[in-house]
């Protein structure tokens, strides 16, 4: 003989309420004021799905644990969204620029890679670069100019390859 759904729900409530309250209050530390509404939400879900539930106790215990985790997840402080969101078009342009720069650097002689890196990434003065290369201080600007010309030629070569 099958138990009517209404009697089954009442029997499940009576039999498992204390276990669910213990799980919420003791295991998960849900404040006492929120325990009863949480358990009632679990029972509402139970009533909706009672026809397909085979093990009432197992389902109610698991649903209570999930409800408690959701409770604390909802209470968790979140960081506000930044005021300025990144424009996808700008981000795509930045990625293209970085890829072009990497391709240019691969095509440059090792000497020029080092010179341009020191100048534009490390911020070294042309005279410092010249002294590092054991050249006259006035030769630094010429070295940078020649390496920039090689970089422009490499970039032009890359762009011709795309067209």
Res 86 pLDDT > 60: no
Same domain? For 25 and 68 the reply is yes
Using pLDDT thresholds of 50, 70 and 90, give the confidence band for residue 96: confident
What is the pLDDT, as a whole number, of residue 63? 93
Helix runs in 4-85, H state only: 5-22, 32-49, 56-75
Q: Which domain holds residue 62?
A: 5-75
Quick check: is 85 in a domain?
no
Quick check: is 84 in a domain?
no
What is the pLDDT, as a whole number, of residue 40? 93
Which residues in 34-48 are b (16+ Cβ under 10 Å) and which e?
Answer: ebeebbeebbebbee
Res 119 pLDDT > 80: yes
Domain count of the chain?
A: 2
Sequence-distant (6+) residues with CB within 8 A of 82 are none
Sequence-distant (6+) residues with CB within 8 A of 56 are 8, 12, 15, 16, 46
Most confident option among 34-38, 51-55, 56-60, 133-137: 34-38
Mean pLDDT, rounded, of the chain? 85
Same domain? For 9 and 61 the reply is yes
Same domain? For 18 and 58 the reply is yes
What is the pLDDT, as a whole number, of residue 91? 61
What is the pLDDT, as a whole number, of residue 145? 92
* Residues 16, 60: Cα–Cα separation, whole Å: 8
* Residues 37, 32: Cα–Cα separation, whole Å: 10
Quick check: is 161 in a domain?
no
**Tally of CB atoms within 10 A around 119:** 19
* Residues 120, 129: Cα–Cα separation, whole Å: 11
Query: Would you give the distance in Å from CA 78 to the centre of its chain?
Result: 14
Average pLDDT for 40-47: 91
Least confident of 12-21, 23-32, 41-50, 71-80: 71-80
Q: What is the pLDDT of residues 127-160, one digit of tens each?
A: 888 888 888 878 888 999 999 999 999 988 888 8
What is the pLDDT, as a whole number, of residue 54? 86
Most confident option among 92-96, 118-122, 135-139: 118-122
Quick check: is 142 in a domain?
yes
């Amino acid at each position: 003989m099958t138990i009517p759904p209404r009697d089954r729900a009442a029997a499940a409530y009576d039999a498992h309420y204390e276990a669910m309250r213990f799980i919420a209050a003791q295991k998960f530390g849900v404040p006492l004021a929120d325990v009863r509404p949480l358990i009632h939400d679990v029972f509402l879900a139970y009533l909706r799905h009672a026809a397909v539930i085979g093990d009432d106790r197992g389902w109610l215990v698991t649903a209570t644990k999930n409800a408690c985790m959701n409770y604390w997840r909802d209470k968790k402080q979140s960081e506000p969204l930044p005021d300025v969101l990144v424009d996808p078009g700008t981000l795509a342009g930045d990625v293209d620029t970085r890829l072009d720069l990497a391709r240019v650097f691969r095509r440059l002689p090792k000497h020029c890679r080092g010179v341009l890196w020191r100048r534009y990434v490390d911020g070294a003065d042309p005279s410092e670069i010249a002294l590092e290369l054991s050249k006259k201080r006035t030769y630094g600007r010429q070295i940078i100019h020649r390496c920039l010309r090689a970089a422009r030629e490499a970039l032009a070569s890359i762009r011709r390859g795309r067209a």
